[in-house]
Amino acid sequence: ETGVTQSPTHLIKTRGQQVTLRCSSQSGHNTVSWYQQALGQGPQFIFQYYREEENGRGNFPPRFSGLQFPNYSSELNVNALELDDSALYLCASSLGLGGGFANTQYFGPGTRLTVL
């Protein structure tokens, strides 16, 4: 069983550019959540996708957008990059929605984005 994978591992961009980060969910998982973790902070929820539909969004501007594909992999797109977007971006997948241990979120290794 393959775990959650993310690409690329590291990325360096300049202010104003656009970036796309990718995530492959764990086998059998149909829900993907994205988090931003600034240095020294806990992760902050960006949004969640369930069966290709957005299922909730955190306090992030519209220049943060996403997609989920039929195979449940997902992309996070960030337009008009700002210096404060420099962070570790974590993707997590879960079996589905709902509570309980069964829907625990399992994380990928993250993509470290640096904006210069």
Partner 1 sequence: AQKITQTQPGMFVQEKEAVTLDCTYDTSDQSYGLFWYKQPSSGEMIFLIYQGSYDEQNATEGRYSLNFQKARKSANLVISASQLGDSAMYFCAMREGGGAQKLVFGQGTRLTINP
Question: On the CB side of 22, how many CA atoms lie within 13 Å of its CA?
Answer: 7
Contacts 24+ apart (CB under 8 A), 57-65: 60/36
Who's near 98: CB < 8 A, 6+ residues apart?
A: none
Nearer to partner 1 (CB atom), residue 18 or residue 104: 104
Q: Which residues bind partner 1 (CB under 8 A)?
A: 31, 33, 35, 41-45, 47-48, 55-58, 88, 90, 92, 94, 97-101, 103-110, 112
Least Å from the CB of residue 41 to partner 1: 7
Nearer to partner 1 (CB atom), residue 16 or residue 61: 61
Least Å from the CB of residue 45 to partner 1: 4
Nearer to partner 1 (CB atom), residue 6 or residue 78: 6
Helix boundaries (H) for 1-116: none
For the chain, first and last CA: distance in Å?
37
Least Å from the CB of residue 48 to partner 1: 5
